[in-house]
Amino acid sequence: MPELLNPITDLGVIQRHRALVDVLMGGIFPSAFFDQEFSAVLIPFMLKSFYATPPFEQLLQAEDGSLRGRVNLDPAMISAMRLFFAYALVLDRIYGVQLDVDYPLILTTTDTDTGLERHFKMDFDWRFVEVETIGPVPDADRRDAAAPARRALRDRSVPRGPAGGSLRVPRLHDLPGDRGHGSGSAVLARSAT
């Protein structure tokens, strides 16, 4: 299965190898809970699923894989949080600086069986997302390494590198696998009320 060894930009690859993907996902989604858990594998930073448990598919996934429902943030804040999560991931994987990113992202959707609203706290698992650098990594003082992320979240400005040089801002709308983007997936999670 050579097409599964490289970053996947065509989600049709997942469908063509669905039996093998099911076996691989068995390590992430235990079969004992598969029919009860609200979990999915998402394209990083896109909130679009390409593998999900049956309850997630039924209640939370639109036909195109995007999330069904509404998030508790306005579009500008969603964009800022997406960027903040990306910066936090880069800081952790490249510089070893961990930021406490604990903002409750709540997805609200209407249950088609009851007509009642259900609320799900989104919990992202970044263990399966890789960060690739382009060129040499700028040196950063550990005390100042998180400053661009805090500044971007606060005033949504474009971060600058050392001595005013530009740092590459990820294009978070692209599919995984492009050079310099995270590849892999995040698991959306599980808390439901």
Q: What is the pLDDT of residues 144-153, one digit of tens each?
A: 666 666 666 5
pLDDT for residue 159 is more than 50? no
* Band of pLDDT at residue 143, cut at 50, 70 and 90: low
Task: Compute the mean pLDDT over every residue in the chain, rounded to the nearest whole number.
Answer: 77
Tokens 């800081």 map to which residue? 91
Contact between 53 and 190 (Cβ < 8 Å): no
How sure is the predictor about 39, in pLDDT bands with cuts at 50, 70 and 90? very high
The pLDDT of 62-86, averaged and rounded, is: 90
User: Rounded CA gap, 157 and 176, in Å?
Assistant: 24
Mean pLDDT, residues 122-128 taken together: 88
d(CA 160, CA 157): 9
161-188 mean pLDDT? 37
pLDDT band at 31 (very low <50, low <70, confident <90, very high): confident
Q: At what angle do helices 75-90 and 147-155 cross, to 10 degrees?
A: 180
Q: pLDDT band at residue 101, thresholds of 50, 70 and 90?
A: confident
The model's pTM is 0.69
